[in-house]
Structure 1
Amino acid sequence: MSYGVIAAAMFSLMMLLMATGQRVFAAIGAVAAIAAIALWGTGGVEIPFTAAMKLMNWYPMLTLPMFIFMGYVLSESKIADDLYKMFHVWMGPMPGGLAIGTIGLMVLVSAMNGLSVAGMAIGATIALPELLKRKYDKKMVTGVIQAGSSLGILVPPSVVLVLYAMIARQPVGQLWLAGIVPGLLMATLFIVYIAVRCRMNPKLGPVLAKEERAVPMPEKLRLLGAGMLPLAIFAVMMVPFVNGWTSLVESSAIGAMASLLAAILKRRLTRKVFENSMRSTLGISCMFMWIILAALGFGAVFDGLGAVKAIEHLFTEQLGLSPWTILILMQLSFLIMGTFLDDTAMLVIVAPLYVPLVHALGFDLIWYGVLYTVTSQIAYMTPPFGYNLFLMRAMAPPEISLRDIYGSIGPFVAIMLVSLILIMVFPQLAMWLPETVYGN
């Protein structure tokens, strides 16, 4: 049996296990273990041991629990509520203002947590009821929350980019900086779309009633200060890192301590808040660690098979495809897989193949990390089985049907596709900031 057939069999078995509802790390790890023992006998047992050593020796992985803890402290202590109150007061007087404020909320929540699920949860529980109560169009605001929450895996401190950095062996700091401009570009396009659409049809996003707008200026300024707190925490964490005063791990510890201090100063750090934050951090961190461990083992088997070289030979020599054609086919495969897998699963499944291939084709791996992230955002919202669609249905109130959710995402997916094309055509959108900061 050729190595190419073995590689195809591994992928097929892994997808079959996932289709049965097995956990991602279990499916990937089981296939890697079976293949390693079948190919190399007892020598194959060294692969998981080596993968575990790589994982424990990768110092930047310590940032993962720090950033997750920071996000959960800010979320559990209701500091995110203050953010929405700020946007409610300052943006409410303009058509579609609360929907625009919701995008702003999502950007700041992304900077607090780095997980799209957190943004979805906050948007669905805080923003969505307020928008519906004020007669905003339910289809539009459902799309706003889904699109805004997807920014969590692009705007730093993105946990997904940390995982990509681990697998692709690229600097996390450069990947984060590369995600800032595309993330803000996408958020800006969302805001422009909402503003133009609500200007053309004010019924979609009516302005706040006069009594709600009658907020004294001192109260407005107080809310502005409270809403800026997450930005201050983000600055305290990122400025020393970007200037080279602290390492990435030290900056993550600063962010975790700053969020804890903010909750204490606001007198919101109760035992329940601290316990919930610790439990959630431990659960998600362990899940990611197991997934990475399985992915490293799976990638080691692929390296041993020479599958990457075989696929490169197939695409470039036998089929005669150009590098850009191969890259576009990769992005299309992400869109297909994203209809039934989350971003982490997609990354660990295809990274052992795609990352070396992208490098061999002459593309920058930092730039490709941004492309992968944006594409997985689009896949999250693509019917029929987009991850965000069903997550939104689970969190939305009863008056929002699955049909409303499916009908809400068309314009936002189109905007994200435009953003993806712009980043592909103009790579400096992603590369300018890391090249400026690091002088590459």
Structure 2
Amino acid sequence: MSYELIALLMFSSMMLLLLTGQRVFGAIGFVASAAALLMWGDGGSEMAFSAAMKLMKWYPLLTLPLFVYMGYMLSESKIADDLYRMFHVWMGPLNGGLAIGTILLMVAVSAMNGLSVAGMAIGASIALPELLRRGYDKIMVTGVIQAGSSLGILVPPSVVLVLYGMIARQPVSQLWLAGAVPGLMMAGMFIAYIVIRCWMQPSLGPSLSKEERAEITWEEKISLLKAGILPLFIFFSMTGLFLMGVTSLVESSAVGAAAATVAALVKRRLTSAVMEEVLRKTLGISCMFMWIILAALCFGAVFDGLGAVRAIEDFFVGRLGLGPWEILILMQLSFILMGMFLDDTAMLVIVAPLYVPLVKMLGFDLVWYGVLYTITCQIAYMTPPFGYNLFLMRAMAPPEVTLSDIYRSIGPFVLVMTLALILVMIFPEIAMWLPNTFYGR
């Protein structure tokens, strides 16, 4: 049996196991371990052991639990609730204003967390009940929360870009800067869609009534602006110090976690119950990530041993005779396909070791490609039938929001994301202007 056929059999077996509902790390790890033992005998067991040792020595991985801790601390201490109240009051008088405020909340949460899971949890628990109570269209607002939460993996400090930087050997600071402008551009495109849609159909997003607006004094409005001070402090203490070179990546994540804890303490919300919940959720998410990375490192080692990277390169360039841009588009489509079954971390650690050398060989900038990969992950998150965000929303949404509503809600936002992806592909300066300017590349 040829190595190409073995690689294809491994990949198809993994996908089949995932379709049966097995845990991601179990499916990936089992296929990798079984293939290694069948092809190399007892020596194949060293691959899984080496992958485990590589993970344990991966010092930058310390950023993962610290960023996750920071996000959950902000969520459980209700600092995100204060932010939403501020956006609710200031944006409420507009048609669709609360939906716009939700997008702005998601941008703020993304800038303090780096994961889409925390954004989804905050949006579904804080924003969604309020939007539904105010008479907003449930299909539109469900899409708003899913799209807004996806910004967490693009806007700094994106954990996905940290992992990509480790695998692709690219500076995380440049990746964060490269993701900032596309992330803000995408948020602006979401807001523009909401404004246009609610202008055409005001019933989809009614504004606050005159009576409610009269009850809110200017003193209260000004006072609510203080809710934005703590998030700005946390963002600067973490990302700002890192970009200025004062702290390393791991030190930056530790500063962010400490700043979030201090913020909760200042607000007098750091109770034992809050700390217990934060630590429990942090441990659960961090362990899930580490198991997936461990299994995927083993899978990648077997693939590398088969020479799959060279086989993929020969297939695209030699047999199909495709040009660089055609290969790049096929790679993005493959991410969308895999996103129906895998989360962003699993896709990254499985496919990046195969695709990154190919991207470099084709002559593309690896920092720019990291942004393309992340935007494609955002699209894949919301693509039926098995998009990651679709099922997260289903698990967190109230009973009146059905799976059919969730599927119908994401169409316009997927189109907006696809347009953003095309713009970044056609105009790389959208992503590269900020890192090029900051570092003089």
Measured against the shorter chain, the TM-score band is over 0.9
| Separation (CA, whole Å) in 2 of partners of 1:302 and 1:257 | 40
CA distance in structure 1 between the partners assigned to 2:288 and 2:120 by the alignment: 19
Are the aligned partners of 1:167 and 1:296 in contact in 2 as well (CA < 8 Å)?
Answer: no
Q: How far apart in 2 are the matches of 1:169 and 1:23?
A: 29
In structure 2, the partner of 1:126 is 126
Counterpart residue number, 2:199: 199
**1:77/1:273 contact within 8 Å kept:** yes
Q: State the Cα distance separating 1:393 from its structure 2 match.
A: 2.2
Partner SS for 1:155 = coil
- What is the aligned partner in structure 1 of residue 342 from structure 2? 341
Structure 1 equivalent of residue 168 of structure 2: 168
Give the conservation status (yes or no) of the 8 Å contact 1:51–1:296. Answer: yes
8 Å contact kept, 2:19–2:341: no
State TM-score, norm by structure 1: 0.96
Corresponding residue for residue 242 of structure 1:
243
RMSD over aligned CA atoms reads 1.5
Alignment correspondent of 1:54: 54
| 1:435 CA displacement | 2.2
* Rounded Cα–Cα distance in structure 2 between residues aligned with 1:66 and 1:32: 29
Aligned to 1:7: 7
1:414 aligns with 2:436: no
Counterpart CA distance in 1 for 2:116 and 2:311 is 35
Shift of 1:345: 2.4
SS of residue matched to 2:6:
helix
Please tell me the residue identity of whatever aligns with 2:230. Answer: L
Q: Which residue of 2 aligns with 1:103?
A: 103
Q: CA deviation at 1:128?
A: 1.2
The amino acid that maps onto 1:212 is E
**2:293 counterpart residue number:** 292
Structure 1 CA distance for aligned equivalents of residues 365 and 175 of structure 2: 11
User: Could you list the per-position Cα deviations for residues 114-160 of structure 1 after superposition, in whole angstroms to 9, with x for gaps in the alignment?
Assistant: 22121111111111111111111222111111111111111122222
- 1:330 matched to which residue of 2? 331
Residue pairs, 1:204-353, within 5 angstroms: 204-214=204-214, 215-353=216-354
| Structure 1 gap segments, 5+ residues each | none
Q: Give the secondary-structure state (helix, strand or coil) at the position aligned to 1:98.
A: helix
Task: Specify the code of the residue in structure 2 equivalent to 1:229.
Answer: L
Tell me which moved more, 237-246 or 413-422: 237-246
**8 Å contact kept, 1:178–1:431:** yes
SS at 1:228's partner residue? helix
8 Å contact from structure 2 (residues 32, 299) kept in 1 = yes
Distance, in Å, in 2 between the alignment partners of 1:61 and 1:393 is: 30
Equivalence map 1:129-148=2 (5 Å): 129-148=129-148
CA drift of 1:217 comes to 1.9
Q: Is the 8 A contact 1:242 1:437 kept in 2?
A: no
Unaligned runs of 5+ in 2: none
Does the 8 Å CA contact 2:102/2:145 hold for their aligned counterparts?
A: yes
Matching residue's letter, 1:182: P
Q: TM-score, normalised by structure 2?
A: 0.96
Q: Is the CA contact (8 Å cut-off) linking 1:103 and 1:148 kept in structure 2?
A: yes
Cα separation, 2, equivalents of 1:165 and 1:145: 27
The secondary structure found in structure 1 opposite 2:37 is helix
Deviates more, 1:124-133 or 1:337-346: 337-346
Displacement, 1:432? 1.7
2:44 corresponding residue in structure 1: 44
1:156 aligns with: 156
Q: 8 Å contact 1:302–1:352 — kept in the other structure?
A: no
Residue identity opposite 2:300 in structure 1: G
Separation in 1 of the partners of 2:283 and 2:396? 23
Q: Distance in 1 between matches of 2:217 and 2:387?
A: 44
What's the secondary structure of 2:337's corresponding residue?
A: helix
Shift of 1:192: 1.0
Q: Alignment length, in residue pairs? A: 440
> Conserved in 1, the CA contact under 8 Å of 2:62 and 2:250?
yes
Q: State, as a whole percentage, how many aligned pairs show the same letter.
A: 75
User: Structure 2: how far apart are the matches of 1:304 and 1:401?
Assistant: 45
